[in-house]
């Protein structure tokens, strides 16, 4: 029996971006490796084929059970999805361990090829984040980052602290499903099912999609929409309306309350649909597919998962910048526009609405980017490269030594 690939991560039915990411990663890894099992060691709320729910974060020594399970399974490679909150232990005084248990896990399984894929690597790191990531890079055989920007920026951060730059960083983009592209004749029935085939929303639609949270800044577009729609009409772009798509009220908080249904529908000529940005994939894709293009405002997060769904459907978009991976992928793909102010957002939305050839060009660029760069079929081959590098490091006793994108010294 071939040794299994082990993924360590949150996993559905938990509603969590990393859980959904791991679900897709496992699906495509298993297709790519029919000769071996792809298993998931996950939290106690996880379930599904190949899932072993052994992570209990209410216990200080949660990592010991995970390490023992790894030893029992004797894996081909261990691939860990990391997000700070997933492995944070809080004691009975409410003090958190700042990832010490996770580092203990890496020490405990150091005899196996270990690849870690951190989902949050900020351009500027807080002290504890820098310390944690440095220790993580020292313990893992290979560390995956989503774009070259994260790779050279991490080196810049460490150089500024007088620390050596990690040489085990491999760029692997966020995987995108290659099986979601839709033809125009498939989109029209979706409009009818959603009640968007008649009335004011039967025409062109701008989609505002994602988690309705204060840091996603939906209000930037909703405040401007009335003037934008009027300018589009003046420029001969026709009638456009806003389709806002976000989660139920009970998962929203703070600033989100100001743009929740029915408030948003009273305030604007638009339709608001409740749905979880991850979960019901079929319904989510319909809501994206009926839009001519989409807007991704965000104050501080990448929204890489939402962007992956947009790329899968080849939908042109306009996104906030500079927002790390979101900006990097927009530049690499040439599939969207960027905005850094209310005025540049207004200009970008008007331009996309009035310029159909531009929308077609951006959609075509996204299709090429999907096929050649970010399709899960491509990403799992990069995972294989990471596994081989990790296995070679274990068999030779030599650390992975990959070239840097830029040789930077912080000033």
CATH number at residue 390: 3.40.50.11930
Write b or e for each residue in 209-244: b if 16 or more Cβ atoms lie within 10 A of its Cβ, otherwise e: bbbbbeebbbebbbebbeebbebbeeeebeebbbbb
Tell me if 82 is assigned to some domain.
Answer: yes
Q: Answer yes or no: do 240 and 351 share one domain.
A: yes
Same domain assignment for residues 196 and 315: yes
* 199, 295: one domain: yes
Write out the residue range of the structural domain in which residue 352 sits: 184-373
Do residues 194 and 311 both lie within one domain?
yes
pLDDT in tens, the chain (411 residues): 799 999 999 999 998 889 999 999 999 999 999 999 999 999 999 999 999 999 999 999 999 999 999 999 999 999 999 999 999 999 889 888 889 999 999 999 999 999 999 998 888 888 999 999 999 999 999 999 999 989 988 989 999 999 999 999 999 999 999 998 877 778 888 888 877 777 666 788 898 865 444 445 667 788 888 899 999 999 999 989 888 765 544 334 444 444 444 444 445 555 555 544 444 455 567 778 889 999 988 766 557 888 898 999 999 999 988 777 888 999 999 999 999 999 999 999 999 999 999 999 999 999 999 999 999 999 999 999 999 999 999 999 999 999 987 655 544
Residue 46 and residue 59 in one domain: yes
In a shared domain, residues 220 and 262: yes
Distance, first Cα to last Cα, the chain: 53
Are residue 158 and residue 203 in the same domain, yes or no? no
In a domain, 410, yes or no: no
Spatial neighbors of 139 by CB under 8 A, at least 6 apart, are 103, 106, 107, 110, 114
Is 170 in the same domain as 234? no
108 with 240, same domain?
A: no
Task: Confirm whether 52 is domain-assigned.
Answer: yes
Q: Which CATH number do you get for residue 362?
A: 3.40.50.2000
In this structure, what token pair is assigned to residue 397?
A: 């006793």
**What does the alpha-carbon distance between residue 253 and residue 263 come to, in Å, rounded to a whole number?**
15
Q: How many domains does the chain fold into?
A: 2
Query: Is residue 268 situated within a structural domain?
Result: yes
In a domain? residue 411: no
């Amino acid at each position: 029996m071939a040794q299994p690939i082990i993924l360590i991560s949150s996993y559905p039915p938990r509603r969590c971006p990393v859980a959904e990411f791991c679900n897709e990663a496992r699906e495509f890894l298993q297709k790519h490796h029919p000769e071996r099992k792809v298993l998931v060691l996950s939290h106690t709320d996880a379930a599904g084929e190949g899932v072993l729910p052994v992570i209990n974060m209410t216990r200080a020594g949660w990592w010991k059970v995970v390490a023992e399970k790894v030893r029992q399974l004797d894996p081909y490679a261990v691939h860990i999805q990391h997000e700070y909150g997933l492995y944070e232990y809080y004691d009975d005084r409410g003090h958190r361990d700042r990832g010490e248990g996770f580092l203990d896990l890496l020490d405990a399984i150091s005899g196996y090829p270990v690849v870690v894929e951190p989902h949050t690597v900020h351009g500027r790191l807080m002290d504890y984040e820098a310390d944690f990531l440095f220790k993580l890079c020292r313990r893992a055989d290979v560390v995956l980052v989503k774009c070259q920007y994260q790779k050279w920026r991490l080196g810049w951060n460490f150089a500024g602290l007088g620390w050596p730059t990690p040489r085990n960083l491999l760029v692997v983009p966020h995987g995108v499903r290659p099986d979601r592209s839709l033809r125009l004749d498939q989109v029209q029935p979706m409009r009818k099912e959603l009640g968007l085939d008649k009335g004011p929303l039967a025409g062109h639609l701008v989609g505002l999609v994602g988690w309705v949270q204060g840091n996603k800044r939906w209000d930037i577009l909703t405040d401007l929409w009335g003037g934008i729609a009027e300018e589009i009409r003046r420029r001969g772009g026709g009638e456009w309306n806003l389709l806002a798509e976000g989660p139920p009220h009970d998962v929203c908080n703070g600033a989100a309350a100001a743009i929740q249904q029915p408030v948003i529908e009273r305030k604007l000529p638009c339709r608001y649909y409740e749905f979880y940005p991850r979960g019901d994939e079929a319904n989510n894709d319909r809501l994206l597919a009926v839009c001519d293009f989409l807007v991704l405002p965000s104050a501080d997060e990448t929204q890489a998962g939402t962007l992956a769904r947009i790329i899968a459907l080849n939908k042109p978009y306009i996104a906030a910048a500079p927002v790390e991976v979101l900006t990097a992928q927009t530049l690499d793909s040439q599939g969207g526009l960027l905005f850094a102010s209310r005025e540049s957002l207004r200009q970008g939305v008007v331009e996309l609405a009035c310029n159909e050839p531009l929308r077609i060009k951006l959609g075509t660029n996204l299709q090429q980017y999907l096929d050649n760069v970010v399709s899960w079929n491509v990403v799992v081959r990069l995972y294989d490269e990471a596994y081989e590098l990790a296995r070679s490091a274990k068999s030779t006793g030599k650390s992975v030594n990959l070239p840097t994108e830029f040789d930077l010294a912080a000033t």
